Structure 1
Amino acid sequence: MASTEGLVPITRAYLSSYYDKYPLVPLSDDVSTLSSQIHSFIADLKTHTPLTQAESLVVDEVDQEPPHKIDANMWKNREHIEEIIFLLDRPNWPATLQQQSKSGDVELAPIFDQLKVKFESTLKTLEYFQSKNANSVFNTVMTYMPQDFRGTLIRQQRERSERTKQAEIDALIKSGGSIRDRYALLWKQQMERRRQLAQLGSATGVYKTLVKYLVGVPQVLLDFIRQINDDDGPMEEQRQRYGPPLYSLTKMVLTIRLFLHLMWTRFDDRKMTENELATLEQAVDIYTSEFERFIKFMGEVFANSPFFISADEVGATDSRTDDFKEISIPAGKNHEVVLSVDSINSYIAWDFSLEQSKVKMDVGFSLEYTNSSGEKTLMLPYRRCDSDQGNFCTVLAGTYKLIWDNSYSTFFRKTLHYKVDCIPPVVEPAQE
């Protein structure tokens, strides 16, 4: 657990000063110029043949303002890059194009294949960027969590949550869901992750139990993760400073996707002109190069941002908090703690150690379960040790007895420092 002594959550003013060190080189003027040219092509295609309902949805999206938040734009770009890759896949070309693959003396197939390769490369860069940042945020949170079973529980919950989310995506794909459907689900899952982070920050749900009964989670960490995604929080400075160029790129990729879609559905009746083809090639070159440049720049900004301070930079501290109890166990006696568990898959958690002396000291420890019929089961076998930090086990409903046994000792009284808690099942937060 990293020390938080003397730290306070980042503020927007602080980030403003920090971002002054990271000015973004403006986007190429070609972004707006080429986007406008493609818009004119789209207008011509719309007058050639009436729009379908599906096409009208994309047109409406192009005409709307992009999302305000950075990550929403990243997901929007990723969705439409995949839509473009789908259109540029040869089996999805118009029948006439698949048969002829020529426009005058120009071979079209190699051109469209190359455009697809560029978008595939950009997609990989974006996926890596998103994965790296997601892990960075989570690892930052875990760096400042007490290094006991609380951190383990949250890691297990995250792993289980991500497996569940991936299973949902796999099921959607298997059922024939579209790219649009898949990204609607991906964004819903992203919002779910935000709610989980906010839960931890505001101490609600299962995390309320963790914070209430098992103190030691630094308040500065809770404040940080509660406000990190607020509309008016510190990250608003990032949106104001770096959002506008990203919004332009979001509009551009939507425009390219719409143009290709309309061109494909009208290709048999209206061939692509040389000017349209040349403009499309330029637009893809500019979009992929500028978007990758933006992603790499933001990756550098994130990697060095003050809210990603490493544990090595701030040092380490003992995770023991003053919520530990102390008991003196006389020779020949036991100390017992009884807990009642109401919910299946709850957790019994414990953390204990003995006050050491010149003589080697240990204590017997075991965990006993009694069901509703009064039958007893030894959950953990008896063993002798001098400590057991941050341990836990999943249990059924019933009564549990943790036993520290000093009955074998003839002379020595043992001083035991311990804390024991019952934690409800770690569950997914309810979806909206």
Structure 2
Amino acid sequence: MVSTEGLVPITRAFLASYYDKYAFPPLSNEVSRLSDQMYAMAVELLSGSPTTPEESLLVQEAERQPPHKVDENMWKNRERLEEILFLLEFSHWPTALQQKPIVEDAELGSALGRLQAKFKSTLKNLEDFQAKNSEFVFNTVMTYMPQDFRGTIIRQQRERSERNKQAEVDALINSGGSIRDKYALLWRQQMDRRRQLAELGSATGIYKTLVKYLVGVPEVLLDFIRQINDDQGPMEEQRQRYGPPLYSLTRMVHNIHLFLYVLWQHLNSRTLQKYEITSLEEAADVYTSEFERYIKFIGEVFSNSPFFITAEDAGTMDSRKADDYKEINVPAGDIHEVSLTVESLNSYIAWDFLVVQGKLNQDIGFSVECTDLSGRKTLILPYRRYEADQGNFCTCVSGNYKLIWDNSYSTFFRKVLRYKVDCIPPVAESALAND
């Protein structure tokens, strides 16, 4: 049993400081472009005929804002990947495609085979990531438990629970349950795991019989596992920091699935166009590479993330002013500006921001301009859309510097922006000389 003496559960402020060392490189701009293209192509196909209930449901899901929780997004991506692979199986191709001569459609068959291989590999990597992360959290918690029969009982409870969960999934599939039904069940089971973890921290529920035995378990461990998944607990920092790019990928895989499903429904009454498969392959290439890059990155962040810190570290972090960052709503069709007056040359203007919440597109336009003392305006940083960005530059003229966040391209949806900006004056030569 590892000692927790002098330790407290990790705080959100400490996680923010820890995550500062792990900035996720922004997603490719192709994610947003190709995601929108998949959605637009699906809608165009649907415009020529009445939509079925399933098509309407898929359109609604594609237009809905992705879930806020990181793990729920992971399950949503996994569900969509499995749905896509189901459609790519030969037995689920449209009848018109199945009946075409192999020689005539060798190129098409090859393209669909490549798509299937890419999505299958990404699904396997996601499954491995989830299994590894779940095992890591459980084993880390168990290293702080007494290494006696109490730990053995808890492990047995978990193993029995996981066997029962798998049997429940198998029974659903064998009775003809759909992929949608399967993942609704898997998410309920995930919520059950969270409840069990909280029960372990509170010594209630299935762990009630262990109450008198859990006396020897460090209180700090019970506090941690009780609060780890609170909506506004430490993990909220993770959701705000790394959620936006994941939300974009969730939206993209929704749109890929939507387009493929609608395309398959219409191919018995129309001819498959070459550009449709080409566009689908291009979207698949970008999605699978970017999603695998994301889960590799987030896996490294998780594996190095601490669970406990010293009380001194917690006090230091929690005492840091929350006003380092501001959070504001940028309405649809509007902008938000921050002006900084610079009097000293060689000052540094720095910024750090992310889109905490937005509908459909998880990004916002950003640019920086300067108006010098003579009134001349200069563009310092050209307009570009970001999910998050950190940067700085050294000023070469005195004047007014304006940082502009632009949501004017959005017709309906606001963006919640979390940001910090600062103007750092130059270090005096005398100070440098004394270092």
TM over 0.5: yes
Within 5 Å, give how 1:352-371 maps onto structure 2: none
Residue 265 of structure 2 aligns with which residue? 265
Residues 94 and 267 of structure 1 are in contact (CA less than 8 Å); yes or no, is this contact kept in structure 2? yes
Counterpart-to-counterpart distance in 1, 2:62 and 2:101: 29
Counterpart-to-counterpart distance in 2, 1:185 and 1:58: 19
Within 5 Å, give how 1:203-222 maps onto structure 2: 203-212=203-212, 214-222=214-222
**Displacement, 1:104?**
9.0
**Displacement, 1:166?**
0.7
Residues 101 and 107 of structure 1 are in contact (CA less than 8 Å); yes or no, is this contact kept in structure 2? no
Counterpart-to-counterpart distance in 2, 1:223 and 1:124: 34
Within 5 Å, give how 1:420-431 maps onto structure 2: none
Counterpart-to-counterpart distance in 1, 2:48 and 2:7: 62
Residues 136 and 308 of structure 1 are in contact (CA less than 8 Å); yes or no, is this contact kept in structure 2? no
Residue 180 of structure 1 aligns with which residue? 180
**Displacement, 1:276?**
2.1
**Displacement, 1:45?**
1.1
Residue 292 of structure 2 aligns with which residue? 292
Gaps of 5+ in 1: 310-432
Are the structure 2 counterparts of residues 117 and 214 from structure 1 closer, same or farther at C-alpha, using a change threshold of 3 Å? closer
Counterpart-to-counterpart distance in 1, 2:109 and 2:206: 56
Residues 90 and 98 of structure 2 are in contact (CA less than 8 Å); yes or no, is this contact kept in structure 1? yes
Are the structure 2 counterparts of residues 214 and 93 from structure 1 closer, same or farther at C-alpha, using a change threshold of 3 Å? closer
Residue 169 of structure 1 aligns with which residue? 169
1:38 aligns with 2:38: yes
Amino acid corresponding to residue 182 of structure 1 in structure 2: K
**Displacement, 1:60?**
1.0
Within 5 Å, give how 1:380-419 maps onto structure 2: none
Residue 77 of structure 1 aligns with which residue? 77
Are the structure 2 counterparts of residues 198 and 105 from structure 1 closer, same or farther at C-alpha, using a change threshold of 3 Å? closer
Find the residue that maps to 1:50 and give its secondary structure. Answer: coil
Residue 325 of structure 2 aligns with which residue? none
Find the residue that maps to 1:72 and give its secondary structure. Answer: helix
Are the structure 2 counterparts of residues 119 and 308 from structure 1 closer, same or farther at C-alpha, using a change threshold of 3 Å? farther
1:56 aligns with 2:56: yes
**Displacement, 1:184?**
0.7
Counterpart-to-counterpart distance in 1, 2:140 and 2:74: 21
Amino acid corresponding to residue 108 of structure 2 in structure 1: L
Counterpart-to-counterpart distance in 2, 1:247 and 1:49: 30
Residues 9 and 308 of structure 2 are in contact (CA less than 8 Å); yes or no, is this contact kept in structure 1? no
**Displacement, 1:202?**
2.2
Counterpart-to-counterpart distance in 2, 1:123 and 1:189: 19
1:253 aligns with 2:253: yes
Residues 42 and 262 of structure 1 are in contact (CA less than 8 Å); yes or no, is this contact kept in structure 2? yes
Find the residue that maps to 1:8 and give its secondary structure. Answer: strand
Amino acid corresponding to residue 268 of structure 1 in structure 2: N
Residue 236 of structure 2 aligns with which residue? 236
**Displacement, 1:272?**
2.9
Residue 150 of structure 2 aligns with which residue? 150
Counterpart-to-counterpart distance in 1, 2:101 and 2:249: 29
**Displacement, 1:193?**
0.4
Are the structure 2 counterparts of residues 43 and 140 from structure 1 closer, same or farther at C-alpha, using a change threshold of 3 Å? same
Aligned-residue Cα RMSD (Å) equals 1.8
Counterpart-to-counterpart distance in 2, 1:147 and 1:129: 27
Residues 10 and 308 of structure 2 are in contact (CA less than 8 Å); yes or no, is this contact kept in structure 1? no
Residues 69 and 239 of structure 2 are in contact (CA less than 8 Å); yes or no, is this contact kept in structure 1? yes
**Displacement, 1:106?**
7.7
Counterpart-to-counterpart distance in 1, 2:29 and 2:226: 38
Residue 24 of structure 2 aligns with which residue? 24
Residues 70 and 239 of structure 2 are in contact (CA less than 8 Å); yes or no, is this contact kept in structure 1? yes
Residue 123 of structure 1 aligns with which residue? 123
1:316-361 deviations in whole A, cap 9, x for unaligned?
A: xxxxxxxxxxxxxxxxxxxxxxxxxxxxxxxxxxxxxxxxxxxxxx
Counterpart-to-counterpart distance in 2, 1:65 and 1:274: 31
Are the structure 2 counterparts of residues 103 and 30 from structure 1 closer, same or farther at C-alpha, using a change threshold of 3 Å? farther
Residue 93 of structure 2 aligns with which residue? 93
Amino acid corresponding to residue 271 of structure 2 in structure 1: K
Counterpart-to-counterpart distance in 1, 2:264 and 2:154: 48
Are the structure 2 counterparts of residues 103 and 70 from structure 1 closer, same or farther at C-alpha, using a change threshold of 3 Å? farther
Amino acid corresponding to residue 165 of structure 2 in structure 1: K
Q: After TM superposition, which residue ranges in structure 1, 4 or more long, deviate above 3 angstroms?
A: 101-106, 211-214
Are the structure 2 counterparts of residues 214 and 26 from structure 1 closer, same or farther at C-alpha, using a change threshold of 3 Å? closer
Are the structure 2 counterparts of residues 244 and 101 from structure 1 closer, same or farther at C-alpha, using a change threshold of 3 Å? farther
1:187-245 deviations in whole A, cap 9, x for unaligned?
A: 11110000000111122224344234541111110111111111101011111010000
Counterpart-to-counterpart distance in 1, 2:180 and 2:68: 20
Are the structure 2 counterparts of residues 112 and 144 from structure 1 closer, same or farther at C-alpha, using a change threshold of 3 Å? same
Are the structure 2 counterparts of residues 271 and 17 from structure 1 closer, same or farther at C-alpha, using a change threshold of 3 Å? same
Residue 112 of structure 1 aligns with which residue? 112
Within 5 Å, give how 1:304-315 maps onto structure 2: 304-307=304-307
Residue 137 of structure 1 aligns with which residue? 137
**Displacement, 1:42?**
1.1
Counterpart-to-counterpart distance in 2, 1:308 and 1:206: 26
Counterpart-to-counterpart distance in 1, 2:101 and 2:78: 28
**Displacement, 1:268?**
1.5
Find the residue that maps to 2:223 and give its secondary structure. Answer: helix
Of 248-257 and 203-212, deviating more is: 203-212
How many residue pairs align between the two structures? 309
Counterpart-to-counterpart distance in 2, 1:118 and 1:105: 20
Which of the two has higher C-alpha Rg? Answer: 1
1:160 aligns with 2:160: yes
**Displacement, 1:132?**
0.3
Are the structure 2 counterparts of residues 300 and 251 from structure 1 closer, same or farther at C-alpha, using a change threshold of 3 Å? same
Residue 412 of structure 2 aligns with which residue? none
Residues 137 and 308 of structure 1 are in contact (CA less than 8 Å); yes or no, is this contact kept in structure 2? no
Counterpart-to-counterpart distance in 2, 1:271 and 1:194: 48
Counterpart-to-counterpart distance in 2, 1:100 and 1:285: 26
Identity of aligned residues (%): 68
**Displacement, 1:275?**
2.5
**Displacement, 1:50?**
1.4
